[in-house]
């Protein structure tokens, strides 16, 4: 690997001048500038990132901390993040905490040690890990907002409202709720958006909380079997919806003939299962892209107030809801 010294020697100029050329600093003549640039291209010079990091305290790498890559929601996000980051010359360092606070904490320590310039984080619980407070780099939350942090996510409330409108439109008034965890803002807002849209016209027959990983608790399974005359089951996300449909099918309850189901997220599986899932689509790519843009602004030093950037969502109508 060619160094700045090699360039200096080749052009016959000091290393400082080479550095100034490479960083578009003033006070260097046009002729010399040309020569240096040409030599750099010719030798295929690439700055040694570790050396730069050392001097500047900037690594041009960012951390991406996710709870679980095997949850089909995240790969799309990760892909968008990686691609926009790369287009800005930023390297993405991945942490998959496997849903555990310990892994999350370890990962953040590792990122801190490597001196990443910023972190895009989808938090797993509601606490703030110690390593994160220690690290004074900008952080942008993704998908799961929290007070005091910058965040990029969908308009969950709007999603809930769209579902409520659609439910009424399709003639459903008695609803079963398979909501996500109550400690996640993103789950809470989906639920509230739905419930509070038409409180007088939509009746919530029952509500059970389950995790976003879609695993059905004993309570959820029992409730699904009884159903108490609910004609539409509104699930907290697609994973939950899909698992519910499966469970119902095993017990010879047909969706949408016997009961309708909606999801949330529009993960790719929503198109694959049968019946295909009526759900709320989030602009995942836009969210990922925006998150790195926001992070980059902050890394550049802008002290922007920590507010949330919210994206509109859309209803995708498929076959898991029957018109009654």
Q: How far apart are CA 181 and CA 168, in angstroms?
A: 25
13 binds, among a copy of itself, DNA, none (CB under 5 to 8 A by kind): DNA
Radius of gyration of the chain (CA): 25
Pairing of strands 139-142, 150-154: parallel
23 binds, among a copy of itself, DNA, none (CB under 5 to 8 A by kind): DNA
Binds DNA by CB under 7 A, chosen from 9, 54, 102, 249: 54
69 binds, among a copy of itself, DNA, none (CB under 5 to 8 A by kind): a copy of itself
Per-residue b or e along 225-251, where b marks 16 or more CB atoms closer than 10 Å to that residue's CB: eebeebbbbbbbbbbbbbbbbeebeee
Query: Near a copy of itself by CB under 8 A, which window of 79-87, 146-154, 165-173, 191-199?
Result: 79-87
Min dist CB 117 to DNA, Å, is 14
| Per-residue binding letters, 185-224, with DNA (x by CB under 7 A) | ----------------------------------------
- Please report, as residue ranges, which positions from 285 to 324 form the binding site for a copy of itself (by CB under 8 A): none
- Please report, as residue ranges, which positions from 232 to 291 form the binding site for DNA (by CB under 7 A): none
28 binds, among a copy of itself, DNA, none (CB under 5 to 8 A by kind): DNA
- Give the interface size with a copy of itself as a residue count (CB under 8 A): 52
Binds DNA by CB under 7 A, chosen from 9, 16, 101, 302: 16
The yes or no reply on residue 6 touching a copy of itself (CB under 8 A) is no
**Cα dihedral: 236, 241, 247, 251 (round 10):** 110
Min dist CB 19 to DNA, Å, is 4
Binds a copy of itself by CB under 8 A, chosen from 18, 36, 64, 244: 64
Judged by beta carbon, residue 116 or residue 232, the one nearer DNA is: 116
Judged by beta carbon, residue 13 or residue 64, the one nearer a copy of itself is: 64
HEC profile for the chain?
Answer: CCCHHHHHHHHCCCHHHHHHHHCCCCCCCHHHHHHHHHHHHHHCCCCCHHHHHHHHCCCCEEEEEECCCCCCHHHHHHHHHHHHHHHCCCEEEEEECCCCHHHHHHHHHHHHHHCCCEEEECCCCCCCCHHHHHCCCCEEEECCCCCCCEEEEECHHHHHHHHHHHHHHCCCCEEEEEECCCCCHHHHHHHHHHHCCCCCCCEEEEEEECCCCCCCCHHHHHHHHHHHHCCEEEECCHHHHHHHHHHHHHCCCCCCCCCEEECCECCHHHHCCCCCCEEEECCHHHHHHHHHHHHHHHHCCCCCCCCEEEECCEEECCCCCCCC
The yes or no reply on residue 76 touching a copy of itself (CB under 8 A) is yes
The yes or no reply on residue 22 touching a copy of itself (CB under 8 A) is no
Min dist CB 36 to DNA, Å, is 9
Min dist CB 58 to a copy of itself, Å, is 10
The yes or no reply on residue 14 touching DNA (CB under 7 A) is yes
The yes or no reply on residue 126 touching a copy of itself (CB under 8 A) is no
Min dist CB 56 to a copy of itself, Å, is 10
Binds a copy of itself by CB under 8 A, chosen from 20, 59, 154, 260: 59
Pairing of strands 139-142, 174-179: unpaired
Residues that bind DNA (CB under 7 A): 1, 3-5, 12-17, 19-20, 22-23, 26-29, 31-33, 45-48, 51-52, 54-56
């Amino acid at each position: 690997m060619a160094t700045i010294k090699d360039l200096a020697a080749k052009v016959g100029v000091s290393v400082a001048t080479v550095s100034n050329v490479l960083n578009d600093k003033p006070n260097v003549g046009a002729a010399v500038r040309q020569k240096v640039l040409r030599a750099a291209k010719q030798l295929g010079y690439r700055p040694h990132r570790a050396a730069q990091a050392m001097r500047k305290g900037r690594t041009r790498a960012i951390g991406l901390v996710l709870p679980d890559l095997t949850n089909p929601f995240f790969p799309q996000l990760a892909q968008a993040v990686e691609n926009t980051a790369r287009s800005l010359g930023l390297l993405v360092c991945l942490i998959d905490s496997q849903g555990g606070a310990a892994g999350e904490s370890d990962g953040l320590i590792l990122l801190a040690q490597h001196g990443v310039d910023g972190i895009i984080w989808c938090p797993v619980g509601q606490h703030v890990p110690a390593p994160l407070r220690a690290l004074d780099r900008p952080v942008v939350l993704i998908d799961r907002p929290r007070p005091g942090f910058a965040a990029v996510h969908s308009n969950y409330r709007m999603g809930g409202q769209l579902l409520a409108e659609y439910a009424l439109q399709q003639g459903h008034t008695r609803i079963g709720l398979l909501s996500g965890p109550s400690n996640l803002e993103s789950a809470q807002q989906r639920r509230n958006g739905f419930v509070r849209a038409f409180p007088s016209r939509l009746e919530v027959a029952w509500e059970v909380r389950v995790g976003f990983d879609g695993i059905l608790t004993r309570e959820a399974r029992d409730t699904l079997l009884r159903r108490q005359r609910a004609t539409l089951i509104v699930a907290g996300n697609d994973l939950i919806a899909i698992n519910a449909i499966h469970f119902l099918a095993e017990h010879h309850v047909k969706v949408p003939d016997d009961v309708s189901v909606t999801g949330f997220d529009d993960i790719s599986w929503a198109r694959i299962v049968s019946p295909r899932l009526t759900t709320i689509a989030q602009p995942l790519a836009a969210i990922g892209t925006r998150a790195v843009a926001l992070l980059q602004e902050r890394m550049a030093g802008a002290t922007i107030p920590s507010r949330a950037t919210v994206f509109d969502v859309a209803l995708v109508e498929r076959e898991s809801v029957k018109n009654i």
